[in-house]
Amino acid sequence: MIKVQDLHYSYGRKPVFSGLSLDLQPGHIYGLLGKNGTGKSTLLRVISGLLFAQRGEVNVLGFNPVKRDPRFLRQVFMVPEEFYLPNTGIESYLLANAGFYPDFNRSQFDAYLKEFTIPAGQSLQEMSYGQKKKFLVSFGLACNTPVLLMDEPTNGLDIMSKSQFRKVMAGAVSDNKCILISTHQVKDLENLIDRITIIDEGNILFDQTVGNISSKLHFKISFDSDEVRSAIYRENSLKGSAVILINEAGEEGGLDLEMLYKAIVTNKDAVQSAFK
Ligand SMILES: Nc1ncnc2c1ncn2[C@@H]1O[C@H](COP(=O)(O)OP(=O)(O)OP(=O)(O)O)[C@@H](O)[C@H]1O
């Protein structure tokens, strides 16, 4: 559905990607993680056709995003990290924008606004940043595009809104939809994303499904010093050590995305050895 091959992209002389490849399928929510400045937003912009790859191939739904073909544009929606909303009410916004998306669903949109407790009569510019973000997420979801790109969608959302976001997103997954979410707020996406892609210095550092991670790695609190020593990642505290172990016994357990991320960044080889 989204295929990126040998992507090269530089801002002026500053390279961001020099050979990145990625293959994303429908029916999944992908979490795109990585340090600040590693190129997550750039990648989303390249996929959506807002930036043009200097080398390599980008194919989204059979289209080259660079061509900005209307048949492509109506199938892709991006919720950017920074955005501008016009000084209009919700109805005028819908009138001007919903028509570009053939599968836009008004009752779905209203249900999302209700879930996020966005007052219907308010002008978009009078909304707080968090309200604007929830409005845009609601609109993006209601467009029902097969490709949905979100850049830090939970930034600026309060605690209640983050759980509403998780609920709304869980209901939005479908077999024909590919959702790619770039985020640092990994806790907000726990139990939501089913594949984790970490990019670093222009390359894919880690790319695994949550199911595969859970079968290969075991996350637990341990009080056993031998076990702690054998862990591929550990965080000590007075209440025992939070560890990541190679899941040799095939134990079932949860996944702590934040710990996984830290483990990959600090001890990539040990984590990757579990997947060989
Ligand atoms: N408009 C621009 N002009 C020049 N350089 C840019 C521009 N936008 C981004 N960059 C640079 O490209 C690199 C990748 O930026 P990008 O915003 O894609 O990273 P990111 O992974 O999304 O970062 P963050 O996690 O901080 O949002 C950074 O080094 C950044 O400084």
Is the pLDDT assigned to residue 89 strictly greater than 80? Answer: yes
Distance 38 CA to ligand 1 centre (A): 7
Domain spans in the chain, listed from the N-terminal domain onward: 2-201, 211-273
pLDDT for residue 74: 96
CA 9 to each of CA 20, 65, 126, 199, 202: distance values in angstroms, whole numbers, following the listed order: 9, 14, 37, 14, 9
Is the pLDDT assigned to residue 267 strictly greater than 90? Answer: no
CA 86 to each of CA 101, 112, 125, 137, 157: distance values in angstroms, whole numbers, following the listed order: 19, 20, 7, 16, 20
Would you say the ipTM is above 0.90? yes
Mean pLDDT, range 36-56, rounded to an integer: 95
Is the pLDDT assigned to residue 252 strictly greater than 90? Answer: no
Question: Considering the chain, what is the average pLDDT of its residues?
Answer: 92
Distance 39 CA to ligand 1 centre (A): 6
Higher per-residue confidence, 135 vs 173: 135
Q: Is 46 in the pocket of ligand 1 (CB under 6 A)?
A: no
The pLDDT tens digits for 105-126 are 999 999 999 999 998 888 999 9
DSSP helix/strand/coil, 86: coil
Q: At what angle do helices 90-97 and 106-115 cross, to 10 degrees?
A: 140
Q: Is 183 in the pocket of ligand 1 (CB under 6 A)?
A: no
DSSP helix/strand/coil, 57: strand
Of the pLDDT bands very low, low, confident and very high (cuts 50, 70, 90), residue 185 is confident
User: Domain 2-201, what fold?
Assistant: Rossmann fold (3.40.50)
Distance 179 CA to ligand 1 centre (A): 21
For residue 182, which atom of ligand 1 is closest to its CA? 22
Of the pLDDT bands very low, low, confident and very high (cuts 50, 70, 90), residue 15 is very high
CA 8 to each of CA 19, 34, 39, 181, 197: distance values in angstroms, whole numbers, following the listed order: 5, 18, 11, 21, 18
Alpha carbon nearest to ligand 1 atom 5, residue? 11
Of the pLDDT bands very low, low, confident and very high (cuts 50, 70, 90), residue 189 is confident
The pLDDT tens digits for 133-154 are 999 999 999 999 999 999 999 9
Mean pLDDT, range 231-247, rounded to an integer: 89
- Residues linked to residue 29 through DSSP beta bridges, in sequence order: 179
Alpha carbon nearest to ligand 1 atom 26, residue? 36
Distance 133 CA to ligand 1 centre (A): 21
Identity of the residue numbered 68: R
Query: pTM of this prediction?
Result: 0.92
Distance 182 CA to ligand 1 centre (A): 13
- Residue to substitute in 9, 11, 47 for testing ligand 1 pocket (most ligand atoms within 8 angstroms of CB): 11
pLDDT for residue 253: 76
Identity of the residue numbered 199: I
